[in-house]
Chain A
Amino acid sequence: MAREGNMAENSGTESGSPAALPTALSAEALRRVCDPATIPFATTREAEPLKTVVGQDRAVAAVEFGIGIRREGYNLFALGPPGTGKHTLVHDYLTRAAAEEPTPPDYVYVNNFDDPHKPRALKLPAGRAAALHDALEALVRELRTALPGAFESDEYVSRRQMIEGEFKRRQEEMFEALQARAKEKGVALMRTPVGLMFAPVRDGEVIEPKEFEKLPAEEQERLKNDIEALQEDLQKSMEQLPAWSKELRDKLRELNREVTQFAVGHLIQAVREAFADAPAVVAYLDRVEADIVDNAFDFIRSVMAQDAGAGGAMGGQPGRRAPEAPDDDTLFRRYRVNVLVDNREVTGAPVVYEDHPVLGNLIGRIEHTAQFGALVTDFNLIKPGALHKANGGYLIIDARRILMQPLSWEELKRTLRSEEIRIESVGQLMSIVSTVSLDPEPIALDIKIVLVGDRQLYQLLCALDPDFDGLFKVQAEFQHVMTRTDEGVGDYARLIATLAERHELRAFDRAAVARIVEYGQRLADDKERLSTSFRDILDILRETDYWAGRNGNGTATAADVQRAIDTKIHRGDWVRELIHEQITRGTVLIDVDGEAVGQVNALSVLQLGNFSFGKPSRITARVRLGKGEVVDIERQVELGGSLHSKGVLILSSFLGARYCADRPLALSASLVFEQSYGGVDGDSASSTELYALLSALSGLPINQSFAITGSVNQHGEVQAIGGVNQKIEGYFDICSTLGLTGRQGVLIPNTNVKHLMLRHDVVEACEAGRFAVYPIATIDQGIALLTGVPAGERGVDGVFPEGSVNARVEARLEDFAKKARAFAKGRLGPDNEEADA
């Protein structure tokens, strides 16, 4: 085996010429073990909690900048993969910053006495809204007692009777005078169901028409004339009545105003003095006072209606509300205070997270109540949205959620642009409702919005929404990995301790923490990086806690962590088992031993949900005389993606450039992923395909103990690919099942060595010489390892060494070229020979 030759300890890829045979990687190169001794505490219980976020320096700086800058449009968009702590970091930083900021003012909606459809917004010093609400409630309660008291006072009754008596006296005098004049003339004024009339009378009784006919003609005429004159008098008198009635009403109203003013003035003054520091409130109280004075009688009617039982047999109908009396709620609702924002309990600026940003939850809504089949509303039914609650502070919204809600995103942008919160219903916004609704006075907005979302969403918004750039100028990008340094490992360990404490998990010992650090490296797929997917870390902590409990361990151990990892994998790997079983049972043809020409084991990664695993596939290549094309059969049947096709096209270029620089590439080759019935994409199999082609062209068999991954460029350099750990483990699992021979191994790109964080069992097998991983820098290294024949470098004479892989390939292609030329001559005939040359 090649690894038994002159191998460097870790990696032979850097040493020697590009064609030097690679050496197998050492155990240290296959996995970076975290030494428990590097963990700065014995158990997480002893660790000092972490106050900062690990590995997100860029995001932290951006968030700090975003919080600090107070300019229009400098809202934040925190973007990054899920589970990287975006919400936690943003919330923690905002909370810390907000605690140092002033508490914003309270807001209430009150009645607009001039236009009730446009409720007024009042701003009050922080924490005072509830006091105003209570003060007005108390005022109304007081009014219910004070007003009736004032109107029942002897002074009021006396003055009212005086006014009414004057009116009555005037009216009676008018009628009495009229009746007296009528009586003098033998006429009576009578009332009928349909009005008044004058009729001739004698001894108090109406003179019947027959009797009237018997009167002398002169008498009849006189009576008729007198009646006509009296009618004119009555008309003139009656015309005065409306004016008198108005005068009476005016006088009574003035009296009521005076009494009300006296009764309520001191009550309102007390409230006014309590809110002297809020001029808008004082002005509002002036309007309340004026309205109460104007409508005092409604109060009295309401109270009287409620107390109607006092009417009794002689004064009313027991227990019955006067039908014209408005009810309490209707009367007093207009004096209520609808507290929209109450910052009594808030210290500093508010930090609000709106997890359901439908329009109503965002900008507030106007609710309605059903009354007699109609929907009605008033300022008391205005409900605040998240923008109100967070006004003066910070609002965190999940970007995907707000974009999924109709109108919410557009309304948020409009609100940010206008810097005021205007509550409108969906019906109003869509112009589909034309009924009268409320148009509440907008509230000035001073807020910092933090959207949290993924990178793709951010990029889509940048590309498709022209408003986005101007409104969200600060991009806080969260990374999915952090660099693994000694200091970083210490912080990572403290983070683990902090998470364990915050989520009330049992303590983790040093070895367990070290094992989780390794898990973080594996999640990052990089031995020089640590995953910042703290959600995944937290999941494994919780599951470890569970297994430690099951095992009766007060402190979680490395074994508990390993069990958590293993069971997590086990729960998700049924499909992997199924696929591997198809290989080990021979349903899917994969050779893990022996040799074959034009056949090679490739490796791919399947992602199923949260679980990914490696899967070997057989790639075969066939060659024949042709026009210089390498046919990607996957592409031909539309099972191959564009990246895969790109890889295949590179192969043509490589072959042509290396072996046929001065003659046509008279080759037709076909490549196929055997027994692949799904799609194939990515270029990680391009080096594998090239090995199959070189084998087919050279006729040299490939050692089937190997599986290969890696892409290749036009110069034959092998390039890094993704999922290297899963691929190696996938092939290892197959080999383990079929039996490790000690000859099996995986060829990986040299540049992927730093990504290796293989499972313990793989590392142990490699350490024991039962399996191997080879770093490959060039195609020449790979083909030499696979065929056991040197690749061969072109000599100064421009010729590859005799018997080398490259010499064989070049010879075969030259042969194809000759045959092609001969074929062309035969087809074109002797007359065209010169042209062909």
Chain B
Amino acid sequence: MKPAETQNGIRRVVLALDPGADYRAALGEAIALATALQAELNTLFIEDVGLLGAARHSFVRRYAPMRARWEPFGESEIESAFKDLAGRVRAAVAEAASRDRLPWSFKVVRGEVEAAALSAAQDADLVVLGAGQDALLAGLRSPSLARLGKRARERSVLYVRPKAPVARLLVVAYDGAPGADRALGVAARLADPSELTVALIASDAKDAGELEKQARGMLGDRVAGTAFITLPKASAADLCGLSTRVGAGALVIGADNPLLRNAAARKRLDETTCRVLVVR
């Protein structure tokens, strides 16, 4: 067994690309992640059936931002656009992966974006879902834990946010659960100890001490420099606030964390500007 597999169990990263997203930024994130985890990168280009269905309506038109006007639009145009975009994405993935010497694959599937990604990536250890930094349309749609509902917990997923901070700092939500242990392991793999902040979800100092002891045990000799902060309330708002305060690039959370069972919490996590990495 390879050391990476023993430490984080992530051997395959699947990048699921929404045809409406700016694929370049998401690809950059996925490449960096796969490189750090020494994993292979599988790219899924998802032809969104919603877009196809919509394009079949005779009265639906498309707004071309560059020309600032509405134009006729049909199924053939969207099919053609999917094909063109898939070709460009494949070329970009090939170039980036070969530059970083990553094992890679590319696949086109059709379906609803997040669901299709989770379904198609059955054997993936981590799915990267994301919109890029498309400033003009940044507010339109981001990968959503809320939209996925309980399926958000079925798989390890990195939710890439538009305009996420460029930083290596990671905040890990740690409550001592097995998912939290795995989340801490992955986080330790992605960043140096000095770039880690472990949010100990504990109601009192005693519990916090225990959790810290447990976390330190998990990190072993990679603990030096790691910051430990106690969060008495395990709310999504607190976690998001902490991430913002420390300028974190990502919030890492175990898939079995109770917050993910709460729709409001998932919605709050969708609102944070940093990336969210759910580790199953």
Inter-chain contact A197/B55, CB cutoff 8 Å: yes
Would A194 and B32 be within 8 Å (CB), given that A172-B139, A224-B59, A314-B167 are in contact? no
A-binding segment of B65-73, B199-207, B227-235: B65-73
Tell me how far the C-beta of A165 lies from the nearest C-beta in chain B, rounded to whole angstroms.
Answer: 9
Distance, CA A192 to CA B55, complexed state (A): 10
A463 contacts partner chain B, Cβ-Cβ < 8 Å: no
- From B35, B57, B59, B63, give the contact of A195 (CB < 8 A): B63
Inter-chain contact A316/B62, CB cutoff 8 Å: no
Question: Which of chain A's residues have a CB closer than 8 A to the CB of B62?
Answer: 192, 194-197
Inter-chain contact B56/A209, CB cutoff 8 Å: yes
Distance, CA A824 to CA B273, complexed state (A): 137
Would A312 and B168 be within 8 Å (CB), given that A193-B82, A206-B50, A241-B136 are in contact? yes
Question: Which of chain B's residues have a CB closer than 8 A to the CB of A410?
Answer: none
Cβ-closest chain A residue relative to B195: A312
Inter-chain contact B140/A316, CB cutoff 8 Å: no
Inter-chain contact A314/B190, CB cutoff 8 Å: yes
B216 contacts partner chain A, Cβ-Cβ < 8 Å: no
Question: Which of chain B's residues have a CB closer than 8 A to the CB of A196?
Answer: 62-63, 65, 137, 140
B170 contacts partner chain A, Cβ-Cβ < 8 Å: yes
Cβ-closest chain A residue relative to B77: A194
Interface size on B, residues (CB 8 A): 58
Inter-chain contact B63/A235, CB cutoff 8 Å: yes
A190 contacts partner chain B, Cβ-Cβ < 8 Å: yes
Distance, CA A164 to CA B138, complexed state (A): 12
Inter-chain contact B84/A193, CB cutoff 8 Å: yes
Question: Which of chain B's residues have a CB closer than 8 A to the CB of A318?
Answer: 32, 35
Question: Which of chain B's residues have a CB closer than 8 A to the CB of A235?
Answer: 63, 68-70
Inter-chain contact B166/A316, CB cutoff 8 Å: yes
A627 contacts partner chain B, Cβ-Cβ < 8 Å: no
Inter-chain contact B63/A234, CB cutoff 8 Å: yes
Inter-chain contact B57/A212, CB cutoff 8 Å: yes
* Interface 0/1 of A207-238, CB less than 8 Å to B: 11100100000000000100110010011001
Distance, CA A233 to CA B55, complexed state (A): 20
Question: Which of chain B's residues have a CB closer than 8 A to the CB of A387?
Answer: none
Distance, CA A227 to CA B65, complexed state (A): 18
- From A171, A175, A238, A317, give the contact of B63 (CB < 8 A): A238
Distance, CA A231 to CA B59, complexed state (A): 11
B31 contacts partner chain A, Cβ-Cβ < 8 Å: yes
B213 contacts partner chain A, Cβ-Cβ < 8 Å: no
Question: Which of chain B's residues have a CB closer than 8 A to the CB of A310?
Answer: 168
Distance, CA A174 to CA B139, complexed state (A): 9
Inter-chain contact B19/A192, CB cutoff 8 Å: yes
Distance, CA A190 to CA B52, complexed state (A): 11
Question: Which of chain A's residues have a CB closer than 8 A to the CB of B60?
Answer: 197-199, 227
Inter-chain contact A314/B57, CB cutoff 8 Å: no
Distance, CA A205 to CA B49, complexed state (A): 10
Inter-chain contact A199/B61, CB cutoff 8 Å: no
Question: Which of chain A's residues have a CB closer than 8 A to the CB of B256?
Answer: none
B14 contacts partner chain A, Cβ-Cβ < 8 Å: no
- From A193, A197, A238, give the contact of B85 (CB < 8 A): A193
Cβ-closest chain A residue relative to B36: A313
A102 contacts partner chain B, Cβ-Cβ < 8 Å: no
B64 contacts partner chain A, Cβ-Cβ < 8 Å: yes
Would A231 and B82 be within 8 Å (CB), given that A241-B136, A313-B168 are in contact? no
B237 contacts partner chain A, Cβ-Cβ < 8 Å: no
B250 contacts partner chain A, Cβ-Cβ < 8 Å: yes
B33 contacts partner chain A, Cβ-Cβ < 8 Å: yes
Question: Which of chain B's residues have a CB closer than 8 A to the CB of A313?
Answer: 32-33, 35-37, 168, 190-191
Distance, CA A224 to CA B164, complexed state (A): 37
Inter-chain contact A208/B32, CB cutoff 8 Å: no
Cβ-closest chain B residue relative to A228: B59
Would A311 and B166 be within 8 Å (CB), given that A193-B19, A206-B54 are in contact? yes
Tell me how far the C-beta of B107 lies from the nearest C-beta in chain A, rounded to whole angstroms.
Answer: 18
Inter-chain contact A208/B56, CB cutoff 8 Å: yes
- From A164, A175, A199, give the contact of B53 (CB < 8 A): A199
Cβ-closest chain A residue relative to B64: A195
Distance, CA A245 to CA B138, complexed state (A): 13
Distance, CA A311 to CA B33, complexed state (A): 11
Inter-chain contact A317/B32, CB cutoff 8 Å: yes
Question: Which of chain B's residues have a CB closer than 8 A to the CB of A234?
Answer: 63
Tell me how far the C-beta of A244 lies from the nearest C-beta in chain B, rounded to whole angstroms.
Answer: 10
Would A206 and B139 be within 8 Å (CB), given that A313-B190, A314-B29 are in contact? no
Question: Which of chain B's residues have a CB closer than 8 A to the CB of A238?
Answer: 63, 65, 68
Tell me how far the C-beta of A308 lies from the nearest C-beta in chain B, rounded to whole angstroms.
Answer: 10
Question: Which of chain A's residues have a CB closer than 8 A to the CB of B35?
Answer: 313, 318
B151 contacts partner chain A, Cβ-Cβ < 8 Å: no
A647 contacts partner chain B, Cβ-Cβ < 8 Å: no
Tell me how far the C-beta of A252 lies from the nearest C-beta in chain B, rounded to whole angstroms.
Answer: 12
Distance, CA A88 to CA B56, complexed state (A): 97
Cβ-closest chain B residue relative to A205: B50
A585 contacts partner chain B, Cβ-Cβ < 8 Å: no
Inter-chain contact A199/B57, CB cutoff 8 Å: yes
A315 contacts partner chain B, Cβ-Cβ < 8 Å: yes
B9 contacts partner chain A, Cβ-Cβ < 8 Å: no
Inter-chain contact B139/A171, CB cutoff 8 Å: yes
* Interface 0/1 of A436-456, CB less than 8 Å to B: 000000000000000000000
Q: 8 A-B contacts, Cβ less than 8 Å apart?
A: A174-B139, A175-B139, A191-B137, A193-B20, A193-B84, A209-B56, A241-B136, A312-B190
Closest 7 CB pairs of A and B: A199-B54, A191-B20, A172-B139, A313-B36, A314-B249, A312-B168, A315-B166
Which residues of A are in contact with B by a Cβ distance under 8 Å? Answer: 164, 168, 171-172, 174-176, 188-200, 205-209, 212, 224, 227-228, 231, 234-235, 238-239, 241, 245, 310-318
